[in-house]
Structure 1
């Protein structure tokens, strides 16, 4: 049984192991009589012992720190009904506790909870945070290479022009040559026109 699964339920004495959670409550198992039952969240509130903090004259501390101080102490646990004895005990084992905000009822609960935890042989310690697995930097390199071919529209257009340019220059040369060869036809036409003019003048002389 792990400490992080131990909860306190408002309105119910003792501590419970959280068996499973539901939308409208939870199934819990009592650490006192080992009975299992459903507890509605509409009627009761649940508090994980792991999340409970205690007021001190400095910063708040987790309840685990107070429990650890109780474990190290050689003094006998006080009677929960004696408020003066409770205060004297905690002043000795944890003098930084803010006794103006930590009431006798709170100290009584801590004594009771500590006894239940020890009876069930539950190790009192916080859950260690899960280690984050760092991904190697090399994984990001293929992503950059894959993104490189994606070019802008202007880049694609310029690339298309560059590819089409050689084909245009090679095809343009025969066209120009064809135009130059067609040019002599005009010269021939002018020569024919000049040859026809003397014929007309020859007719006029015959008529005279």
Structure 2
């Protein structure tokens, strides 16, 4: 299983392998229970792991760099439910992370994802092909666009250009790939012009 095929799907726990894409969604396989299911773009949004970046005190880095640092580190992977332990862990294995912008929920997600990747013995490296080309090809096929993950961070502006439309694009453009609604037609003007007034009733004849 290749790292570049992996995606996170909103509304579904864990990580998934992108098996195939369809016009209205994609077939994905869970890395945890190996079950395969169809995920509709009308309900779910997709984030390719290769397109996710992490905030640091300097320039943003690709998520894979954080995973690689975790792999090289000697610290024991913390319990994802323990906020303090998780923050202390990243303070040791990846101290340049911007802890003001990367929330605890994001750090917990990284810990869970890393655990899943290691259990599936997935090599933590980006595809050799041009990152842009890889992401655009996958996106064009499945249209699994996702909003900027405040999450684990933000997606690269170049890579997420197509994604951003569907997410804020649903955001996350007619939302979720739906065509925008046509503008309502202007009502026809009444005869005599828009300012035409009702004809005043005739005055009653004076009594004789």
TM-score, L = length of structure 2? 0.61
Find out whether 1:26 has 2:33 as its counterpart: no
Deviation at 1:128, TM superposition (A): 1.2
**SS of alignment partner, residue 111 of structure 1:** helix
Aligned pairs for 1:190-205 within 5 A: none
What CA distance in whole angstroms lies between the structure 2 residues aligned with 1:40 and 1:107? Answer: 27
More helix by share: 1
Establish whether residue 79 from structure 1 lines up as the match of residue 79 from structure 2: yes
CA distance in 2, matches of 1:31, 1:38: 15
CA distance, structure 2, for counterparts of residue 93 and residue 76 of structure 1: 10
Question: How many residues are matched?
Answer: 130
| Bigger Rg, which one | 1
The alpha-carbon deviation at position 129 of structure 1 amounts to: 2.7
Q: 2:58 aligns to what SS in structure 1?
A: coil
Structure 1 moving runs of 4+ over 3 Å: none
Residue in 1 aligned with 2:147?
A: none
Aligned to 1:93: 93
Relative contact order, higher structure (CA 8 A, sep 6+): 2
Q: Cα RMSD between the aligned structures?
A: 0.8
Structure 1 Cα separation of the partners of residues 126 and 95 of structure 2: 22
Unmatched 5+ residue regions in structure 2? 131-208
Q: Does the 8 Å contact 2:75/2:92 carry over to 1?
A: no
**Counterpart residue number, 1:123:** 123
TM-score by length of structure 1 reads 0.61
Q: Aligned equivalents of 1:93 and 1:114: distance in 2? A: 13
Q: Report the alpha carbon displacement of residue 23 of structure 1 after superposing the two structures with TM.
A: 1.2
Name the structure 1 match of 2:52: 52
Deviation readout 1:38-66 (Å, 9 max, x if unpaired): 00001110001111100001110000100
- Give deviations 1:4-35, integer Å, cap 9, x for gaps: 00100011100000001111100000011111
Name the SS of the counterpart of 1:18 in structure 2.
strand
Q: CA deviation at 1:108?
A: 0.6
Distance in 2 separating the partners of 1:19 and 1:127: 17
Q: Which residue of 2 aligns with 1:104?
A: 104
